[in-house]
Amino acid sequence: MRSRRSISDIVAVVLLIVIAIAAAVIIYMWLSGLIGSVHTSTSATQVKLEITGANVTVFSNSTYKVYAVVYNPPDSPSTSITLGELEFTNGTMICSAPISTTTITPSGSNIFKFYCTGPAALPGTPVEVVLVTSQGVQVSYTTSVS
């Protein structure tokens, strides 16, 4: 009878070791996948776009035509602009419009234009052109309505 007890003790110890190893492997695989996805995604803090110039004109009635020249510095990752906004300088939104997604590579520049309708602003009124990237980064440029 004693030999049976020792065999069941050995089986129990082996099963505990197998369970502990399996749990360690599962945790390792989960953490390596999680950490790997964090390092490969583009962080919003890495995006450093600059609007180098912008022009806002009244197209018809209270429809605005907005042009913005955007530069992506060499140390910034490739990114794309998805939304354009026009705001008064106090932060009040005039209008916004989606922008067809175009990727800007590092050291590259591109011209973005969009049309939007909002409350009328007189020529000479200072406004901010705000562009929003796919990562949620907002870049702004102050100009006046012409």
35 shares its domain with 99: no
- Put the strands of the sheet holding 63-71 in their side by side order: 50-60, 63-71, 109-117
pLDDT at residue 42, rounded to an integer: 53
Question: Both 63 and 119 in a single domain?
Answer: yes
Tell whether 55 and 37 lie within a shared domain.
Answer: no
Query: Angle CA(109)–CA(110)–CA(114) in degrees, nearest 5?
Result: 150
76 shares a domain with 13: no
| pTM summary value | 0.70
Whether residues 71 and 108 share a domain: the answer is: yes
Tell me: pLDDT of 72 over 90. yes
Range of the domain at 94: 44-144
Position with higher pLDDT, 30 vs 129: 129
Residues 63 and 120 placed together within one structural domain of the fold = yes
**Which burial class, exposed, middle or buried, applies to 43 when counting CB atoms under 10 A from its CB (0-12, 13-18, 19+)?**
exposed
Domain count, the chain: 2
